[in-house]
Structure 1
Amino acid sequence: MDIDVNDSTPPAPEEYPDVDGEPPAWAEDRTPLGDAIPWFRKFQGGMHTKEGILYGLLISGDAGVRSYIDDEIIITRTGGSSERDAEGKLSQVADQKDDTAISRSVNNSMKFNIAVGVVIGKKNKILKRKLPHAFNVMDYFRVAYVWHERIDGFIAVRFRLEKLELEEKSWWAEKGSPAPPRTARRKWVKPIEHICGACAQTYYRIYMQGWMCLNTSCSQFWKLPDGNDPPVELDYDPKWLDWRHDPSDEVQPHYSLVPDFMSVIDDSDPNSTYSRTSWKNGIVCPSCKQCLSRRFWDGWRCDESCGFKRVLNMQTISLRAVVDDYEVAPIRRAIVFDPGPKETALIEPEIDDVYSHPYRRLVFDLPGAGTVTHFVTNREINAKPNGPNDLFIQLQQANLGLRRYPLSQAGMPYGFVVAVDSLPFSEACDPILRVMGRLTWATHEATDKQGVTALIPNELLALGYFEDMAINYHDDGEDTLGPTIASLSLGAMAHKSLRMKYKYYNGFTKGSKKLVHDDPVLEGCANRDWRLDLKQKLDNNELDWPAYEAEWWRTYKANKSGAAREAPPCIKTQLHHGDLVVMHGDGVQKYYEHQVELEKGGGAKLRYALTARHVLPAKIEPGQWPKGQFQLTKDQDYKGT
């Protein structure tokens, strides 16, 4: 059998030929791609499946052995059961089964004629073309065939995709290449079929090296006609590659390839602009076709090279629209504490109705770490002039320049998640300074009773939440910050949870499983009794570190402690409109982490979380110090009433 083999060295990526056109949508990272393309809401992994259907696929990297891409055909494998070797190549490490969710979704897309959108990544080396962007939307394809073969000795699920629109030249075709033949002039061929003599199943001939049975339960599975195993490198049969389905076959996409989300936004309706649908969905720039997340409070903006922007009419939303209570605020909020089951017991707060009256004061003690003080507000406090009710409206009407994550910062600059611009307090609007007055009061109120002189806040971080937004577990333990952090909640209710960090809860780090030096063995950690006993022996020099480490793991295994897990929450509290929370103590941020989730249900939501802290001047450039200086007027200075 004569087989054409190209022995020439493949060109380097910079030598690949140019593509013939431009993608209908593109992105330089995964987040805007997933936000703007509904059939590929996938921020990790390469296959977007939902309810047993494959809707979108990312072709990036090497995609495994025997992968293939041309102007109309893609041949690849399903995800899972593989790892990358030392050179970064994808290797199969276990059998893939037909009954996995991914395999079922691929088969269902073929069975029910569901189109699959495909994105090609710039890291892909199979196409061997110069791709213009990191992620490029290709087109809609049909799943034409699904089969099994062996890769690295393991069963793999493979599938063949066929472009739906055959009349139009693919934008990823080589520049200057001829246009595809018209449908009426195409030569319609089908692959050669054979019946297996062992299992009587019929399969197409896929490779030039010979027909093989693709039935995994057959004794002749993945065997050449002579009974030998095929080589790793195989060549596709030309008839297999030239095979096309009849274009009249009914295959329909679930979504538009590139949706026009802007046309369905009704920004005359506040429930639309503040809803999850509006903030989570991205758009495709009508000018340059870049996928855009809604990074800005008031809409979408393309980069400077394009200049496109879609600014929403951010109408002021009322407090009544975002608070689900029968009355917007209670006369005196009831506090009912449920510690939960013993194995996940919550810390019970000390409730004080006198010291910070008219607030109800809840103090959660974290032994060895610090305290969390929750000032529960009421109708009287919220309704005062320039109080929480007014601040909620005033902040909406102020130009805070909020963006996603974090959204705005005023005062001393420091690192928080990503770099942000910091404005000096001298440029802050009146409601921001009134918020600083409240948070300064709360900082002193929470610490004075403990006999501590708190550092005056000199930085304010303002975050805005829309419907379904949340901040996952994190700490605010940057080394640039003092030990006290105060926050004010305005608008929709949120749930705050605080838990011990993994390594302090379990006694060792995640992944590497290294024991924690200077383990505090905090109340509520796993295996506290024997861990505390060993820690005391280490501190008393009864054990050196190697002996301590050996005894620690021996005891851990002897106690059948089971698999390590994340710590359960030890504090759960509801943050209502007007509530203040102060976390104080170096150990709170060192040993614990917290998350905040907006209340579910009730339609559109809006919540502001305004957090004040003290940034240590010694940690930043002296030229930045003036940013954190502020002087409150008598009206802005808050006294707790």
Structure 2
Amino acid sequence: MTAPEVTQGTNAVERRQGRPPAWGNTRQQINDTIEWFHCMQGGAAHNGLKCTGFLLDADNGERSVISDEVVITRTGGDCRKDNDSLILKHDQSPNGPIIKSIMASFEEKKPVGIIVGSKNALLKVKIPHRYCVMDWFLITDVWMEKMGQYAGYRVRLEKLDLSTKGWWAEQESDETLPLTPRNSDRPPPSQACRSCGNWSKQIYIRPGWMCLEKSCSKFWQFRNTEPKEFQYHTDFLNYRHPRGPDIQNPGPVIELVDRNLEPSEGLADREEWRGIVCPKCRKCIQRVTWDAWDCANDAAREPEETCCYTVVRKMREISLETALEDIKPYTRSQLRCGIQPVVDKHSLKPYEVRTYNLPGVGSITHFVSNPTINERTNGPNYLFSELQKLGLGLKRYPLGSAQGKKKKCKKANSHSRHSSQSSESSDSSMSSKSVKCRYGTRVKGTLTCHFAVNYGVPYKYVVSVDSKAFSDAPAQILTALGRLSWATGKAVTRAGDTYQAPNELLALGYFEGMKIGFHDDGEEDLGPTIATLSLGTRSRMYIRMKDKYYFGVSTNNVPTAEDPVLSGCAKEQERRSLKNKFDAGQITAKDYAAQRKALLRRASSNARSPKLLRLELKHGDLIVMHGAHLQTYYEHSVEPDKGLRFALTSRYIETKGGTDRMKGACKLPDNLIYDGQ
């Protein structure tokens, strides 16, 4: 019986035993909700040093199996894409975090959960949703075998509870019978290798027993040759391991709770923006809006879905004292900067102004607030309290709708010969709002890790229909706009440039644990200045050079198309000397490209540009980033401390549409024009 015969059959069977205990339309719905599966990429989730779950979707690798009770799959990781297949890039190491976590759960007999995706072709039944929770499984075997050119790990898992059929089993299946009559107590044969002395199970009846010790000279050989055809040993597939007291009881794989039976008010903590499993239809519901879980509020909702289960959850007002309590001072290393600021404690008093100059690019101006400023009428304390009470319509948006066109860099001294240089690899053309949050790289359907609402001219970050006119904005938003306009004007005029009044304001709300990963705000039509007012819990803002400009090459070591040679970049002197020769016509474009390629190389594809600035943003602080190319060459992230935070960011956006221009039209009344006090 070969693996395909075991898992696929000849007819499409849709008669399942039941329905999954939980399911989701997107990976993030699963990730936000399922406690044991926090993994936005890859097939294995781990928490600390233990594997907690697997996702089996499109490509499980050759010789994979999914039956009523047994799963055989590769571990994932260390692969590259080749068409629709994943190919190992090198031998997998036993010291990698995924393998170590799998081995730990295997050795401790810790059950793991499994989720199956609808792109998985191994099951004999129709998978009802994009992602479906299967059940608890036990890792019974971990071994290495050749997968193409390299050796990788595979795992065998058994359904933990053998007394009941899984929802994915066919109704007529004979596999899930009581243990006793199933002839499942005969383990597969094992033998010791004559070369290395290690014991290995016989996994395949064809070709036969092979040594599975990677370090052995006879590894993965049958009669001194690598096998080409495979058939699983019946005993390896059919054996069921005894369920003794040493196996941990993980409890139910999913707990269904009606959150409407809980208090109607919540705090802005991590628990409040976790997903919940709908007790009616069992879908994983994300917290999309500030004040509710809503089963129907799902951009990936399928046409056949009818459930409208909703939990309204008003947020209990949090005092500023609570938001700021238990804050310990940052250490010097936590605020280490590669640029020393110009500090001005007098000209804009009571603010302290710290200006960080980025040579040839722009500046970052930090207006440091204090209790005197914060406690004044209509000041930051008032705004923090009021924003919690207002129904602003804050919501999380899909990252797919947070993508504007990239702002093209127009360099004053660009040379026509540059067009013959090697182009950048695709990894350097990511959207300017490819926000990574805490999850890592963007996955389709991913929501932002913060709540947002936009006022004024539509900003590409938020779809146009969700941008509200300033004429409809509450006074508190206009109060914030007044402070941001003041800070923008001061920072720009101090830089000797022309001030453009902001015509857009984006309000962001962060629950505990939310953060925005490295990104830039370099959309087309965006002005050169961005100002932000921080309210609530303290946060750290990080500024770093984009990798392709810091290293001068992509992750694949392809030279960046146009190298500005920024101050502080890797191998700055060598790159500057080379660029000067090219700009002076002393070397050809071909020689310039060849010498750059020889000079520049990343140590690994995971190498990242160091953080240039680490800024402590306290309640009431203002930050102004100014410079036409600052968003082109640099990126920033914000990581709040524990607690509630609002960030209000204003910009000037060029617009030709009359409706959009009207939305951004705003003449502040005299009482909302901020004077810097």
State the TM-score bracket (shorter-chain normalisation).
0.7 to 0.9
SS of residue in 1 equivalent to 2:484: helix
**1:5–1:477 Cα change, 3 Å:** closer
Contact 2:125 2:170 in 1 (8 A): yes
Larger mean CA deviation between 255-264 and 472-481 belongs to 255-264
| One-letter amino acid matched to 1:291 | C
Is the 1:463–1:610 Cα contact (8 Å) retained in structure 2? yes
Instruction: Note if 1:60 corresponds to 2:61.
Output: no
- TM-score between both structures, scaled by the size of structure 1: 0.86
- Counterparts in 2 of 1:6 and 1:260: CA distance versus 1, 3 Å: closer
Return the letter of the residue paired with 1:527. Answer: K
1:397-476 correspondence runs (5 A): 397-404=389-396, 405=448, 407-416=452-461, 421-476=466-521
Mapping for residues 168-567 of structure 1, pairs under 5 Å: 168-174=164-170, 177=173, 180-183=176-179, 186-196=182-192, 198=194, 204-209=201-206, 211-216=208-213, 221-224=219-222, 227=223, 229=225, 231-247=227-243, 250-254=246-250, 256-260=252-256, 273-279=267-273, 281-303=274-296, 305-324=306-325, 346-404=338-396, 405=448, 407-416=452-461, 421-517=466-562, 519-553=563-597, 556=599, 565-567=607-609
* Displacement after TM superposition at 1:105 (Å): 3.4
Task: Name the % identity.
Answer: 38
- What is the rounded CA distance, in whole Å, between the counterparts of 1:503 and 1:326 in structure 2? 36
For the residue of structure 2 that corresponds to 1:617, the secondary structure is coil
| Structure 1 residue aligned with 2:666 | 630
Structure 1 residue 607 and structure 2 residue 603: aligned? no
Contact 2:68 2:175 in 1 (8 A): no
Moved more, 190-199 or 438-447: 190-199
Distance 1:222 1:169, change over 3 A: same
Deviation at residue 93 of structure 1 after TM alignment: 5.0
Residue 434 of structure 1: how far off its partner (Å): 0.8
Does the alignment pair 1:89 with 2:85? Answer: yes
* Change over 3 Å in CA distance of 1:323–1:170 after alignment to 2: same
In the TM superposition, what whole-angstrom CA distance separates every residue of 1:205-232 from its partner, at most 9, and x where no partner exists? 43333641445266665455xx364743
How big is each residue's C-alpha offset from its partner over 1:304-356, in whole Å with a ceiling of 9 and x where there is no partner?
532112222311100001114899xxxxxx9x997999xx8622222223332
Is the CA contact (8 Å cut-off) linking 2:7 and 2:65 kept in structure 1?
A: no
Aligned position for 1:26: 23
* Cα displacement (A) at 1:536: 2.8
- After TM superposition, give the deviation of residue 33 of structure 1 in Å: 0.7
Any conservation in 2 of the 1:457–1:614 contact (CA below 8 Å)? yes
* Residues 482/303 of structure 1: CA separation in 2 closer, same or farther (3 Å cut): same
In structure 2, distance between residues paired with 1:9 and 1:268: 47
Letter in 1 for 2:623: V
Are residues 1:110 and 2:110 paired? no
Shift, 1:586, TM fit: 0.4
CA distance in 2, matches of 1:200, 1:473: 51
**Structure 1 residue 422, shift from structure 2 partner:** 1.0
Contact 1:499 1:593 (8 Å CA) reproduced: yes
1:262 to partner: Cα distance: 6.2
Contact 1:409 1:420 in 2 (8 A): no
> Retained in 1: the 8 A contact 2:7–2:123?
no
Matched residue SS, 1:407: strand
Structure 2 contact 207–230 (Cα < 8 Å) conserved:
no
TM-superposed deviation, 1:494: 1.1
Alpha-carbon distance change, 11 to 84 in structure 1, aligned in 2, over 3 angstroms: farther
TM-superposed CA distance for 1:7, in Å, is 9.7
1:587 is aligned to 2:629: yes
Tell me which residue corresponds to 2:443.
none
- Conserved 8 A contact 1:407-1:463: yes
Offset of residue 127 of structure 1: 1.8
Q: What are the Cα deviations for residues 291-313 of structure 1, in whole angstroms up to 9, with x where unaligned?
A: 12222222322125321122223
Structure 1: gaps spanning 5 or more residues: 328-333
> Aligned partners of 1:563, 1:144: CA distance in 2, in Å?
34
Match of 1:330 in 2: none
Q: For the structure 1 residues 499 and 238, does the alpha-carbon distance in structure 2 shift closer, same or farther, using more than 3 Å as the test?
A: closer
Residue identity in the other structure for 2:582? L
Provide closer, same or farther for how the CA distance between residues 444 and 267 of structure 1 changes in structure 2, counting only shifts above 3 A: farther
- State the distance in 2 between where 1:585 and 1:79 align: 43
The 1:420/1:368 distance shift into structure 2, 3 A limit, reads farther
* Compared CA separation, residues 346 and 411, structure 1 to 2 (3 A): same
Range with greater deviation from structure 2 (473-482 or 567-576): 567-576
- The residue type paired with residue 296 of structure 1 is T
Structure number with greater Rg is 1
Query: Quick check: 310-319 or 106-115, which moved more?
Result: 106-115
1:126 matched residue in structure 2: 122
Deviation, 1:465, is 1.7
Summarize deviations over 1:269-304 as a string: whole Å, max 9, x none.
86xx2222332x221111211112222222322125
Instruction: Name the aligned partner's letter for residue 626 of structure 1.
Output: M
| Letter matched to residue 277 of structure 1 | E
2 CA distance for matches of 1:488 and 1:449?
19
Tell me, in whole angstroms, the C-alpha distance in 2 between the residues paired with 1:553 and 1:468: 41
Describe the superposition over 1:116-138 as per-residue Cα deviations: whole angstroms up to 9, x where unpaired. Answer: 11111112122243211221111
Q: 2:70 aligns with which of 70, 73, 77?
A: 73
Within 2, Cα distance between the matches of 1:122 and 1:326? Answer: 46
Answer with 367-376 or 88-97: which moved more. Answer: 88-97
CA displacement 1:435-491 (0-9 Å, x = unmatched): 111111111122233443311111100111222322122111111211111111111
- Unmatched 5+ stretches in structure 2: 298-305, 397-447
Give the TM-score taking structure 2 as reference length.
0.81
